[in-house]
Amino acid sequence: MNSAMEWVETVGASVEEATEKALDHLGVPVEEAEVTVVAEPKMGLFGKVREPARIRARVRPLTARNKDERRDRRRRGGGKTRKGQGGPEKSAVSHAQESERAPEKATNVDQGGAVSAAREDVPVETQAEVGESFLRGLAEHLDLEITIERRQADEMIEIALDGPGIGILVGSRGSTISALQELTRTVVLRETGAARAMIVVDVGGYRSRRRSALEEFTKRICAEVVETGSQRRLEPMNPADRKVIHDTVNTVAGVVSRSEGEDPSRYVVISPQES
C-alpha cells in the first residue's frame, strides 16, 4: 500500500491514459485518488503525439476536521439521518449501483486538474467501528461464529475475519470477499458521510496468501517473457491484484508491464523491456 503522501508521475498519449497508469500503480479507483495534470499532450504532424501527457497522482490523504468545521456541519444538519426524516434511506446495494452509474458525484475537479473530495473526511477509527459492526451483524445473520481483528496498514485499517466455515465469505478467486469489501465500504460511506472508505476486509488470511501466490506467478511469467522474448497477456484482474502484478514486475530486470482494457475486463500485459 502506498503512503497517502507518496506522489507518482506517469505519462501517456492522453491525460486519461496517464491517469489509468497512475491508478493501476496506486491500486485505487479514481474517487480515492488526487490527480493533477502536469502537462497536456502535444500533437505533431499526422496526429502523432510529439510530447505525451504527464500527470501526478497520489492516494487522497486523510485530514482530520477541526472543531469549527464539525460544529458547522452539525448546524447544517450533517451527520446521520434519523429514521422518519428526509425520506427512506437507500439500501447499500442501491447506493453502490448509483456510485457505479454516476461516479462523478463522488469527486470534484478543480481548474488545476486535481481531484478533490465532494464529501468530508472521517477518522479511520470511526470507519473501522462502523465496518466491524456491519460485518458482525452479517456474520450473525449467516450463523457464522467469527473473531475480528483490526490491523493498521499505512493509512488504512484492515478488518480481518476468522472462524469455522469462514471460507463461504471468500468465494471463487476471492469474488465473494471482493464483494464483501465493497459492500462494507458502501455501508461505511453511507453511515459516516466519509469522502472515501479507508477499510480493507480480509477473511481467513486470504489476502496475504493471494498476494504471495500472485508474486510467484508473476515471477514465473516474467522468466518466460525474458526467455522467449514474447509478451504475455494475463487474465482480467481487479485493481488490487493488478497492483501486485505491476509491483512484482518492477523488481524483475528485462521486463515491463502495462494495463489495457476497461474494468471489469482490464488486464495486465507483461512485455520484454526494450534495450
- pLDDT tens column, 238-268: 888 898 999 999 999 999 999 999 887 899 9
Is the pLDDT at 148 greater than 50? The verdict is: yes
Residues above pLDDT 70, as percent of the chain: 73
Burial code of 28-66, b = ≥16 C-beta within 10 A, e = fewer? bebbbbbbbbeeebeeeeeeeeeebbbbbbbbbebeeee
Identify the weakest region by mean pLDDT among 17-31, 50-64, 105-119, 199-213: 105-119
What pLDDT does 271 receive? 96
What pLDDT does 128 receive? 94
* Residue 178 pLDDT level (bands cut at 50, 70, 90): confident
φ and ψ at residue 2, rounded to 5 degrees: -80, 145
Identify the weakest region by mean pLDDT among 77-91, 122-136, 149-163: 77-91
* Residue 118 pLDDT level (bands cut at 50, 70, 90): very low
Pairing outcome for strands 199-203 and 156-162:
parallel
Is the pLDDT at 179 greater than 50? The verdict is: yes
φ and ψ at residue 63, rounded to 5 degrees: -115, 135
